[in-house]
Structure 1
Amino acid sequence: MFFYFAFLDLGDCYMLGAVQISVVFFLEKFINLDTLLQELKVKYMYQHSRTSLAKLLKNIGFTYKKDDNRRALMEKPYVVTQRRKFLKKYMDNFASTNPKKVVVLDETWVYANGSVRKSWQDQDIRSVKRCSGDGARYIVIHAGNVNGFIPHVGKIFKAKTDSRDYHTAMNAEIFEEWVKDLCSALEEPSLILLDNASYHSRQKEKRPTTAWKKCDLQNWLEENNIPYNATDKKDTLLNICRNNYTEKKYAVDEIIEQAGHEVLRLPPYHCIFNAIEMVWSQAKRSYDKEIIKPNMDPIKAWTLGLETVTSEQWGNYFRHTHKCIAEYWEREKFLIRTVQEIIINVNVNTDSSDSDFDLNGCEELQCS
């Protein structure tokens, strides 16, 4: 989809870009073929027939299908901003003369009885396997790079909670201690990718919130040498605090940076940028085959599952993820360039300086 534009002249590329941008940025309205065509004609972006527009949309990768809520979340303005920052930092590292090796990490879980819930059955009720339940849950954490798992850092432990959300079985203390072990095990300065789970994001200093008492707000202002009036009400104090927020500092980031490595946080809802997700999928399939064997315990079964993921497969997963990231990078650069051109064109052809387009985060992305 992204390289299709390389074979078009500037005018055709602009027209295709206008159509693509319109579909993306007019999503707050109900868009079908007729309403999109009308919108494009009003904006002087496309003056051809309905049939031609349908063919064009198909050629540039669009299909008319049921909306995916996760994809909608991925395009929220604050997520787009974080994605652009991630893409730029990742690709800058990749293009540098001395790139840091990328290390990915994540947590997942397995059940003591496995997760296979299918069997060969006929109409006889006797052929239906009785489910014994999931059993205890085990939390898993590991890290790897393009060559495979980082040796001696894998951790698996039995969850102490019955919650269906495995994140409740982890906390910042456990994770931060594990990160120290990871940093010690890395043989060279690395770029460590991690998501924004709450236990990855313990702040060194808590920011004031509406739940804070007035005296706590005053203490925070005094500790940070920020002036206020003793007669100020709580709302006023809170606004003063908010106006003096500094950049968030995470405990994990400090641990990683002090060890000589660099942190790159994944944008929300973008697990597709984390190669270890495919590793988990393969390891869990192997785990489900091992755990049903006689006298097999979860820790041994998981160890055997990890051993099925070879160094070559790790490399394949990394290359697949890099390709995905590179495609997003090209798309973001193209979108920004085209949006800027369209805004200029729309403003020239209208009496208003307002625009339907959001350039949120564009200042972070230098398109070369």
Structure 2
Amino acid sequence: MNSGEEKRHIWLDSTGYGRIRSGDGRGRRIAISPMISSAGFHLPSVDIFECNEVHSMDSSRFVKWLWETSCTLRGENDDAKICTIIHNATCHNEQTDETKLPKCAWKKSEIVQWLDDHKVPYLNLYTKAELLELAVAYAPEKRLKVDEAAKEFRVEILRLPIKHCVLNPIELA
């Protein structure tokens, strides 16, 4: 949401019908992250913050928000079954540091260090490409930061398809 899109007045035409004039959409951008249930917005979970034009939410902010919200929900009802429904945005799917694989842009020494850290056997004469193939072959099971934060408070995560207009309420809004 851009603060320049906030409408304070509605102009009425001769028939009595109103219309909201379009603004240029400039101004500070804010993002609002609430937890929504069948009872409406969960006010303690609302997070409002200013963002830039490029990106509004990153993984570290989302994981922190989910952790705090899960803690609040679990504190409100310790024995309730809690399920959080999220879509598959990139900020929801960042892997934990232990399960991230080496990238092609890494130096050979960094890939070797990753293999050593994960106790993967290799020969010193392997090329960088062979070391990357070896890392993929011995890849640890993928774990996501969001899942780890939710698991701490016994909160189940259900993921929806990206931008699914029927299943995702934010797309309907």
User: Which TM-score band applies after superposition, normalised by the shorter structure?
Assistant: 0.7 to 0.9
Instruction: Give, as a single letter, the amino acid of the residue that structure 2 aligns with 1:189.
Output: K
Match of 1:198 in 2: 90
Computed over aligned residues only, the root mean square deviation of the Cα atoms, in angstroms, reads 2.5
* Partner residue in 2 for 1:169: 56
Number of the residue aligned with 2:17: none
CA displacement at 1:121 relative to structure 2: 7.2
Residue 217 of structure 1: aligned partner: 111
Amino acid across the alignment from 1:170: M
Classify the secondary structure of the residue corresponding to 1:211: coil
Structure with greater helix percent: 1
Distance 2:41 2:125 in 1: 58
Q: Which residues in structure 2 correspond to 1:247-286 (within 5 Å)?
A: 247-278=141-172, 281=173
Pairing 1:30-179 to 2, within 5 Å after superposition: 110-114=1-5, 131=23, 133-159=25-51, 161=52, 163=53, 165=54, 168-179=55-66
Shift of 1:232: 0.5
Shift of 1:262: 1.0
Are positions 1:189 and 2:72 aligned together? no
TM-score by length of 2: 0.79
Contact kept, 8 Å, 1:142 with 1:149, in 2: the verdict is: yes
The amino acid across from 1:177 in the alignment is K
* 2:83–2:158 Cα contact (<8 Å) kept: yes
- The question of whether the paired residues in 2 share the 8 Å contact of 1:191 and 1:261 is answered with yes
Answer yes or no: is the 8 Å Cα contact 1:139–1:157 preserved in 2: yes
Larger Rg: 1
Higher relative CO (Cα under 8 Å, sequence separation at least 6) belongs to 1
How far did 1:202 drift? Answer: 2.0
Does residue 121 of structure 2 align to residue 227 of structure 1?
yes
What are the ranges of 5 or more consecutive residues in structure 1 without an aligned counterpart? 1-109, 123-128, 282-368
Q: What is the TM-score when the length of structure 1 is the normalising length?
A: 0.39
Q: Give the 3-state SS of the residue equivalent to 1:245 in structure 2.
A: coil
Distance 2:22 2:115 in 1: 62
Give the counterpart letter for 1:224 in structure 2: H
The one-character-per-residue Cα deviations of 1:184-221 (angstroms, maximum 9, x if unpaired) are 22232312111222222221122112111111111111
Distance 1:175 1:146 in 2: 22
Higher deviation after alignment, 240-249 or 130-139: 130-139
C-alpha separation in 2, matches of 1:269 and 1:223: 38
In structure 2, relative to structure 1, the CA distance for the partners of 1:223 and 1:130 (3 Å cut) is closer
Q: CA deviation at 1:223?
A: 1.1
Change (3 A) 1:177 1:120: same
Whole-angstrom CA distance in 2 between matches of 1:220 and 1:201: 21
CA deviation after TM superposition for structure 1 residue 274, in Å: 2.0
Structure 2 gaps, min length 5: 15-20
1:240 is aligned to 2:127: no
Is the Cα–Cα contact under 8 Å of residues 163 and 171 in structure 2 kept in the other structure?
no
Aligned residues: 158
2:155 corresponds to which letter in structure 1? H
Q: Which structure has more strand as a fraction of its residues?
A: 2
One-letter amino acid matched to 2:29: R
Deviations 1:105-131 (A, max 9, x none): xxxxx2212266x96679xxxxxx795
Identity %: 27
For residues 305-344 of structure 1, what are the structure 2 equivalents within 5 Å? none
